[in-house]
A and B are shown apart, each in its own frame.
Chain A
């Protein structure tokens, strides 16, 4: 240490001392002594601090016998506090008398780092009842209630305003989480996840391994690597006042996850094992072989060139051969899962105790689609070492590896179709394999019956499930170490260093037996990526009570984070044989050589943060937060942004005039306002780029470089200003009611803006446009039956409701922007982003049912597409622009994929150790674009839905809800869809139903067990919906903000039963 630092250090000590040490009174004094013990064991507690509240110089530390003694206490009533890391602090009153010794004993209760009543608020925690912002907490209690495969499932239906949508139900599949609506168009709208203080950069496309021509990409799910059993609590920060401490990353909400820490004194061992099985919850009802042939014949006879693909002789021959393939049955199977978790938690009783929590987990799941599954192994160590009573060093390491195998299911309807898309389409009159053992193909094998059937180039579904290899491996290590020093009684300094290291690899091979592999003589793709993130945080907190009225907590900090990303991808084709699969990718002889790419990026974040919490008489609360974020991703002129917020709260129930109202337990009103950001700019987007461009001189290629994009020196975060009005009301000792109204306006949206052609560029990313979200959230926790004793029946319920309305206010010039074309062979327009509408509405023709008879047809005053006249049995299409004929100009906004409201209801009933928990969850008022139906409700070139066949309009069935056979109900012209394809996505689902039995304590005491519990859980046992597809909780095209609510061969939902056992020692 140099002289200078020594000098600094000594001055620091002087400063701290002068801050914390008021003048000592030299009046008449008394003495207090006593013992501090553990409530559970009765054992003395060493190194506990006992002090006189408000006079930190009057304090003592307990010895090995738990004894303490404080002298020099001025006469009068004093408040004594006893504190010890790992225990809940306790306060007791004493009356100090001059020259006398009073005895005051303390019994402290061991506790985890956080009790249910304490919630994480970012860089600290707070008593729930004192929180000024809109924060939802998922407690340990809820976490332990049912077996949870992933954490995002836990968020589903349990907190108001948190909308979780399944992008894919496949094992390890992605979910999208929206907190208070979508406030970005091109950026990410996913919340920020903070795991044990480490903010996980959730850059969706940055983390994905290159898709390398696969039809499906899987973004890394930041929570997939975390073992749900390790979680102690989850806090969801929703309003700007709470998220402003995360500044530029707070606009989509923040989910704070805290893992289990050591507690108690003796080691507590917990073992959990569960096993379950699952089945596909619902399938498409499509025609069997006989029905299909009848349909094809009816269709053929009614066509403009009448044909009969299956004359009676052919039909009889096929049926006699017993060909009636149920393709869905072939690609689905009974799935299963096994889950083994072991945890040891405890703490040593030394003077400087060590708290520890060790866990290991193994989870494996076979998906319900043949060939899909995941295995995850994880290990976690959390250690906390106290050094004396003022220093704490802690570290945690979480390592996990998930290996999944996937079967291509989603995607296009042509040659890139996945197994599920293909299985719905494949006709029952084809066997799985031809006589020569090769897989049958709908084209050409179906065309044998009539070339007019013209079947699509869709791969054989069984070849996709059985022969395609697509394996994904995710390894992630999250490690964190911190040291915390209580410099003085009220002042703590915490410095932490953490890393998040992840690698992903994805290997895919299409052998010759698959359609794709056949055309390329084997197609191998390998891609890998590595991301590593470092974080350093330095946080100083100062907490002090001034007198009895004023509570002050200050927090200041400086943090830095750096994330590096490396990725590469290669693809080769034309292999000699399929033997080596993707393992010898160099042996492929693709014309022009393999496709190879690599990428690398770095992003950094440097932040200053500060927070003030002030409470007056526990009645009036003010919180002010400001974070200054500097991000490398922001452009040269906008490197730093300031994100302030303020919150005020009033606890009316603590007012003297309300305190006598017995039925009111707590009544608090909250008002918050703040500005937070969304930085989801990919790195380097503000910089100009040069691209390569070839030319040749004298017949030899030469390299060229030219500007491909223009710099934007002002590129910055999307800015969200949010106002929140909330009330928390607890009454009758049984009910906790929370209501919030919020309004968020996001400006400076990141949009691609068109540049004048004369610039030489087409477009550039710029901050233009705005979008608004407003809504209400209601939550009610009710203890309907409060048990008089532990054997009495109890009934608790948790109900939540949220409604959000989303509106695009401005797009920086244009009135509408289309999302990317939907990737089907139809080139359907993507969802529409239009000023005045919610983000991503569906755009198409409005159809309004089948024309029943000639009277109804005659009543239509306009012509159909291509100037034809509407006939009975046609689908009626509305002439929106009123020009007397259906043209492309008659397309309009026909539906919204965003629900009008979401609800969740959890009921827990228990009696004598038997507990029943049911989670009902639902959404209402959204539309789903079911693209699967374009094919299955039209011509017999693929199989057709039963409903479309049996309920088709005909002269004998004029009430049919589908147009006559031969008409496509879902399309007008080509590459467009009608509102007929939109379905009501509302549903109410029994997500989980658990019956558990807890071994009575009296019985447990006779065993080595501290406790035991067995349970049986059913997931997705029941869904009430009008949606005809596999699952209304679907978004197979996108986890982004546009093209949501679309179903093309999504991995279907499964229904599962799981049996489990928990043992605690």
Chain B
């Protein structure tokens, strides 16, 4: 088949999928053993888990070159920030609205694809959308405080102020686990199969009765929701939302998370989030080196490991082959 990746690894997992829930459990005590900086990085990883999971749905599972992810991330971040700063809502109540804003914008971003705009045209258009949003953030000063950025007070959860990174960690961890579990449920159903059917052969997908337009919108909307929630987490983590945070460099980071981790793989999104958050941190303080390392990483993966790092694991452990059905 044209443009196909090398065949994925096969096999029914010997162990249940419960082993994946072990990871969050194992990670629970970690905040008590790390310093503030590492705690911050861990929190950032969790934000990018949502970014990766969300983005992967559109470019991995649905297989579309839609680069609106950063725009959705930014919208979620600003939505949360604006509600906290201007409407006085406590942070935890802005999480769902941020997701909804992302979902709505995601659905909007899918519309050109419905008009059969695909491949590079869709990529260019969604990139333009992202840059346009950034310009809007800069110009919508009353709401967003323009280029100076929106300063957001520490997040509040049910009356409790989450001022330390450690307290944020547990909330973020819960959100990340939820994002992965819910997305996994979605993918292991006729919805997930429909997304991938559209990716693999859109004509055949229609021929088996899948209303492709509807599922396009759905995939983009769910992706937008997850990424929007990630944006709200970002606002809570960083406390300062600026337009510069959502530029094309950020887009490449999102790509890297998905491609280095593994396209269309939930485990891959998590792995990608870990690798792509920690690696730039290693080079913080050396402007330009971060980008060079990132570029090398992406090129390396594209040339030698097109299925991402998760494919290394799949070779050893059939566990990592994702199944898209329930039995």
* A, B bound: no
A residues apposed to B, CB below 8 Å? none
